[in-house]
Amino acid sequence: MSFTPKVGIVSCSGEDCFGGGVSRMATLEVLHRLRPTDTVTICLPLFLAGSGGEREFAKSFPTITVDGCAKMCAAKGTAKYSSEPAVRINVSDYMDDPCSKVDGVAKAGEVSVVVRRVASDIASHVDRLRSQWR
Amino acid sequence: MKKVVVPCSGIGKAFGAVSRETTHLLTQGMHSTDYRTVCLPLLMTDDTEARQVIEESEVYVVDGCPMKCASVVVKHAGGKPVMEIIVPKVLAVNKDHRPATVLDIGEGGRLLCEDIVRIIIERGGKDE
> Which residues, other chains included, contact A110 with Cβ-Cβ below 8 Å and sequence gap of 6+?
A95
- For residue B67, give the nearest of A24, A50, A73 by CB distance: A50
- Shortest CA distance to A90 belongs to which of A68, A117, A112? A68
User: What integer pLDDT is reported at residue A52 of this predicted model?
Assistant: 81
Residue B78 distance to chain A (closest CA, Å): 14
β A87-90/B58-63 pair status: unpaired
Counting as low any pLDDT under 70, the low residues of chain A are 1, 101-108, 134
Measured N-to-C along each axis, helices B14-28 and B106-122 cross at an angle, to the nearest 10 degrees, of 50
Stated length of chain B = 128
User: What integer pLDDT is reported at residue A70 of this predicted model?
Assistant: 96
β B3-7/A87-90 pair status: unpaired
A54 domain-assigned: yes
In B, residues 27-86, which contact A (CB 8 Å cutoff)?
36-42, 44-45, 47, 67-73, 76
CA atoms within 13 A on the CB side of B31: 19
| Cα–Cα distance measured from residue A78 to residue A80, given in angstroms and rounded to the nearest whole number | 6
A75 domain-assigned: yes
Asked if B103 lies within 8 A of A41 by C-beta distance, the reply is: no
Q: Chain B residue closest to A103 (CA)?
A: B28
Q: What does DSSP assign to residue B84?
A: E
In A, residues 36-95, which contact B (CB 8 Å cutoff)?
41-50, 71, 73-74, 76-77, 80-81
| Cα–Cα distance measured from residue A121 to residue A119, given in angstroms and rounded to the nearest whole number | 5
B126 pLDDT above the threshold of 90: no
A92 domain-assigned: yes
The H or E element that residue B62 is part of is strand B58-63
The H or E element that residue B99 is part of is none
Interface size between A and B, measured as CB pairs under 8 A? 93
In A31-132, the DSSP E strands lie at 39-41, 63-67, 87-90
| Cα–Cα distance measured from residue B46 to residue B73, given in angstroms and rounded to the nearest whole number | 10
CB A64 within 8 A of CB A7: yes
The pLDDT tens digits of the residues spanning B58-106 come to: 999 999 999 999 999 999 999 999 999 999 999 999 999 999 999 999 9
Asked if B9 lies within 8 A of A74 by C-beta distance, the reply is: no
Pairwise pLDDT comparison (A3 vs B57), residue with the higher score: B57
Q: Chain B residue closest to A66 (CA)?
A: B41
Asked if A45 lies within 8 A of B47 by C-beta distance, the reply is: no
Please state the domain count of chain A: 1
Asked if B69 lies within 8 A of A45 by C-beta distance, the reply is: yes
Fold for the domain defined by B3-122: Rossmann fold (3.40.50)
User: What integer pLDDT is reported at residue B1 of this predicted model?
Assistant: 80
Chain B interface, mutation test: which of A9, A10, A12, A15, most B Cβ atoms within 10 Å? Answer: A15
Q: Chain A residue closest to B8 (CA)?
A: A45
A114 domain-assigned: yes
Q: Return mean pLDDT, chain B.
A: 94
Domain ranges across chain B: 3-122
- Shortest CA distance to A25 belongs to which of A12, A35, A36? A12
User: What integer pLDDT is reported at residue A60 of this predicted model?
Assistant: 86
The pLDDT tens digits of the residues spanning A15-46 come to: 999 999 999 999 999 999 999 999 999 999 99
